[in-house]
Structure 1
């Protein structure tokens, strides 16, 4: 099974591929280190809770999806910094969380190979200025709700979208393709990535730096069960995998054999004498509105994003793709005549851009 997985990560106009398939000698279900500082390490990143005093606490994993700083993770990875009131919003909507006032989530970007002892450059810390989740209604005591003692809403699926604040000199932020339409199948091989050694503990600079080089692990497994209605009291549709997913991997991507993310690591039961470990992943395809967490992606075409392209048709040349029309127009004014700006779908890692009318 491991030889089937050769994952790609993308950077603007350049495709990055691993030198060989991941885990050629790995055992199914067992975590193994990934020695790939310039590929997945720039797309799958550790998440920390950074406090006003400068200390940092590891909380899980996230992954970048659009080239503009949008990430996905498990909601429970970032719920500790949530400071909102659920009774102030409508059900089945996205909620924005202000995490800029005190302790906040931040991801640590990979900056390549460093020899000797070196401090982490400040540009490698990317704080989150927005975290979105999906709300659903819950059954509550009507009298308790009237007295303001209980919210009628709850966080739904274990998935959250985050927006990173990137400094101008930040290291490259690669992406992975996300598939919101393909359902997992029982017996299907999957591959999860995350930081299993990253626990809920305060870390110093040297310990944090170690994760840039040694902390990322991969785990192969097979889908054993589908849970479209979620498990327990939480409406988080997902699927079970026979694998040892350790706590710090929460929020990490779960890939299918085509290298597309179809799930997010949510929870797990460790191996025991009675049997192997069982991991539970949130399923992207089983959540009807999950794609609203990443509005910049072209949901119909995994690996593509929606934006404003600056291009010339004869001969064809794509000069850039931007989230903002103003940024695209600014680039166009600096180019030779013949370039235009249009809204469309851009395949990350190349110059394939399909012009379309904005919705």
Structure 2
């Protein structure tokens, strides 16, 4: 892919102007080369179910487990539908097509863990000229953002079909996608989970606004270009002055998920092991992290204060 940097470490996020308000739509930008809408495709319609972001050049997309569950529910009720990622062909390596969709990537496999609201989507391999296409990535931040830290969540809030052509020779769909940014500050941190039912996994709360469709999107903290959280849920207060209460899973929750690395031999590895091998970009704190095997519930451990 001429001009594309595989495994690109994106520049600081100062190009996102938060002075426009706490929640606003963004123009096409470089991050959309790594942050995709998660959709359910049909013969004539598309339903947006969430957002995902890529952490491996071969295409491993982190999202929220409840996004995958909703997509599966729709597909089970509608047999002629399938889960896909919509590739925005813009940003890194695609400056010549600043506002064009790149097309759909059907999802072949997904990986979840009952203990966390995170998932990994593995799309069908995309070839160009007989060679696998590689995608830009965002790295993962293993640190827990302290209370008061500024955070920025990104995700898609709607997808409206403007035109649709479907024939034996071509299927072309023109959509209006709404990529939004929401910023706020961390208000509470739950290293061991907030409760036993709704958020029993490591997470943090903020006053950022996370709308439907943003679930599964990345959350950045401070001026870091590494993802510290995965959008989980957002609630508005009955008192408008009180603002929003939103939750994000810790991004490091994804590291416990097992993914298939070789379908021919049914070989699998955790995302943690793939990160150790350099297939996933991690922050400098990662070397202090260890994966503790505990039956069906492996967990991550830090040897002392972070």
Please indicate, yes or no, whether the TM-score normalized by the shorter chain is above 0.5. yes
Write the distance in 1 (CA, Å) between the matches of 2:280 and 2:63: 22
Gapped runs of 5+ residues in structure 2? Answer: 91-95, 165-172, 260-268, 282-306
- Confirm or deny: 8 A CA contact 2:56 2:135 kept in the other structure: no
Q: Secondary structure at the match of 1:80?
A: helix
Q: Which residue of 1 aligns with 2:297?
A: none
Q: Which residue of 2 aligns with 1:43?
A: 34
Q: 176, 181, 192: which one pairs with 2:153?
A: 192
Write the distance in 2 (CA, Å) between the matches of 1:162 and 1:347: 15
- Confirm or deny: 8 A CA contact 1:47 1:61 kept in the other structure: yes
Write the distance in 2 (CA, Å) between the matches of 1:346 and 1:76: 26
Deviation at 1:210, TM superposition (A): 2.2
User: CA offsets per residue over residues 142-185 of structure 1, 9 Å max, x none?
Assistant: xxxxxxxxxxxxxx321111101132139762110112x31121
> Size of the alignment, in residue pairs?
246
Deviation at 1:78, TM superposition (A): 1.4
Deviation at 1:225, TM superposition (A): 1.0
Q: Does 1:254 align with 2:254?
A: no
Write the distance in 2 (CA, Å) between the matches of 1:57 and 1:281: 23
Deviation at 1:186, TM superposition (A): 1.1
| CA RMSD across the alignment | 3.3
Q: Which residue of 2 aligns with 1:166?
A: 125
Residues 20, 243 of structure 1: CA spacing in aligned structure 2 closer, same or farther, 3 A cutoff? closer
Q: Which residue of 2 aligns with 1:147?
A: none
Write the distance in 2 (CA, Å) between the matches of 1:104 and 1:224: 38
- Provide TM-score, normalisation by structure 1: 0.59
Superposition pairs for residues 285-324 of structure 1, below 5 Å? Answer: 285=252, 287=253, 290-293=255-258, 295=269, 305=275
Deviation at 1:283, TM superposition (A): 1.6
Deviation at 1:230, TM superposition (A): 3.5
Q: Which residue of 2 aligns with 1:178?
A: 140
Write the distance in 1 (CA, Å) between the matches of 2:136 and 2:62: 13
Q: 265, 269, 278: which one pairs with 1:345?
A: 278
Q: Secondary structure at the match of 2:69?
A: helix
- Confirm or deny: 8 A CA contact 2:221 2:228 kept in the other structure: yes
Q: Does 1:104 align with 2:96?
A: no
Q: Does 1:23 align with 2:21?
A: no
Q: Does 1:34 align with 2:13?
A: no
Residues 233, 298 of structure 1: CA spacing in aligned structure 2 closer, same or farther, 3 A cutoff? closer
Residues 291, 36 of structure 1: CA spacing in aligned structure 2 closer, same or farther, 3 A cutoff? farther
Task: Name whichever structure is richer in strand by fraction.
Answer: 2
